[in-house]
Structure 1
Amino acid sequence: MEHKVALSFSGGKDSCLALYYLQKKNVKVECLLTTVWTEEMKTFAHNEHIEQIRKQADALALPLHTIETDFSTYEEKFVLKLREVKDKYGLDGIAYGDIYLEGHRIWGEGIAEKAGLEAFYPLWRDENQAKELLKDFVRLGFKAEIIKVNNQLPKAWVGRSIDELFIKDITQLQSVCPLGESGEYHTRVYDGPNFTYSLY
């Protein structure tokens, strides 16, 4: 049986890699879901304007649905949008790009349950496998750049490409996840094996 899912999509490396893994399995991704601040129309974690995400969705040949919200209504509006796209596409699941943070998984599974859907986590790994997942991202031919860092990484890293040199540099840092799972850095993906054309 082929599963039909929506993918929670930020435009970064994790969600693009999750999409690739889903598409290689017996899972049909019907649409992308992106949460944005109601007033600014920018994404929650990455602070990307929604038009940038639309360009990525077009290059990935998938419809994009936005969830316009704020902190106080985040969960409520997420569930409402999930129910809406569930009916529109006949979905049985929602997929996320989370990797090993148990709290994120518990939240995502709870949201899925409220919408009557199954939660899928195609990237789920042990924390010590994060480097291998990042290496897979590069090996597959994805192209991404860093657009945001926290205080654990040099500000000069904004604009860096995710490549072999980056993997070498970030794995030398102590207490930093190579994949930035705790928000150490965020990325914009502009090309890859599931893109129909490059955005640059």
Structure 2
Amino acid sequence: MMNRIALSWSGGKDSCMALHELTGQGEEVACLVTTVPQETGKTFAHNEDIKNIQAQADSIGIPLELVRCRYDTYSEDFLEKLKRLKVEYRLDSIAFGDMYLEGHREWGQKLAYEAGLKAIYPLWSKKTEMLKALSKFVNSGYKAEVIKVREDLLPADWVGRPLDETFIEDICKKAVCPMGESGEYHTFVYDGPLFKKMIILNPSK
């Protein structure tokens, strides 16, 4: 029987590829779930404008659910919302786009368990496979750009760069994970196979 899945959605390449993998497997992603700390009013980690995330959901055709949380009660707020979504969408599972960080996986598994759901990691791989994963995304037909970097690790002027072959060449010269799994950079996907129309980004700052 087909799973009904909530997908943790940042708007970036990882969550997009997770969605691509799940739909390709014939799974049903019932809703996208995005955390929005009250302290910023924008998405967690990516600091993205909610209007842009909503535009993605509208283009993809999957409902977007926002988790309004606080940094100091992030897990508790997420769990409370997830329990409600489980009933509303008749969920079986929650999926995450994490690729190899064990701490992130343990957190997601604990969250899912406490909500009575199964945790799914469709992109889970090895750290040594990250360059291959980046190449797969770049060649997938999806279009994304860098929206945030850790300026102690990457140049500030990388913000706005498209993820393309030149980006792959340049990221390989840096002492960082090619996929930015430790937050070295964040992206926004604005077009691709699952999008009905291209997204025009609303400025986040």
TM bucket, shorter chain = over 0.9
Counterpart of 2:169 in structure 1 is 168
How far apart are 1:26 and its partner, in Å?
A: 3.2
**For residues 40-82 of structure 1, what are the alpha-carbon distances to aligned partners after superposition, in whole Å with 9 as ceiling and x for unaligned?**
3201101112111101111111100000111121111111111
Counterpart of 2:157 in structure 1 is 156
Structure 1 residue runs without a partner (length 5+): none
How far apart are 1:39 and its partner, in Å?
A: 4.5
Structure 1 residue 178 corresponds to structure 2 residue 166 = no
Q: Indicate the RMSD between aligned Cα atoms, in angstroms.
A: 0.9
Structure 1 residue 60 corresponds to structure 2 residue 60 = yes
**For residues 88-133 of structure 1, what are the alpha-carbon distances to aligned partners after superposition, in whole Å with 9 as ceiling and x for unaligned?**
1111000000000000000000000000000000110000111111
**For residues 11-41 of structure 1, what are the alpha-carbon distances to aligned partners after superposition, in whole Å with 9 as ceiling and x for unaligned?**
0110011100010013110000000022532
8 Å contact from structure 1 (residues 3, 26) kept in 2: no
Q: Which runs of 4+ in 1 moved over 6 A?
A: none
**For residues 134-174 of structure 1, what are the alpha-carbon distances to aligned partners after superposition, in whole Å with 9 as ceiling and x for unaligned?**
11111111100101000200111111000011011101222
Distance (whole Å) between structure 1 residues aligned to residue 130 and residue 184 of structure 2: 13
Amino acid at match of 1:163: D
> Aligned runs of 1:2-21 on 2, under 5 Å?
2-21=2-21
Counterpart of 1:102 in structure 2 is 102
8 Å contact from structure 2 (residues 190, 199) kept in 1: yes
Counterpart of 2:199 in structure 1 is 199
8 Å contact from structure 1 (residues 99, 123) kept in 2: yes
Distance (whole Å) between structure 2 residues aligned to residue 116 and residue 75 of structure 1: 15
Distance (whole Å) between structure 2 residues aligned to residue 100 and residue 134 of structure 1: 14
> Aligned runs of 1:26-175 on 2, under 5 Å?
26-150=26-150, 151-174=152-175
Distance (whole Å) between structure 1 residues aligned to residue 135 and residue 143 of structure 2: 12
8 Å contact from structure 1 (residues 18, 96) kept in 2: yes
Distance (whole Å) between structure 2 residues aligned to residue 26 and residue 82 of structure 1: 23
Structure 1 residue 189 corresponds to structure 2 residue 189 = yes
8 Å contact from structure 1 (residues 69, 77) kept in 2: yes
Amino acid at match of 2:174: L
Amino acid at match of 1:170: I
8 Å contact from structure 2 (residues 70, 77) kept in 1: no
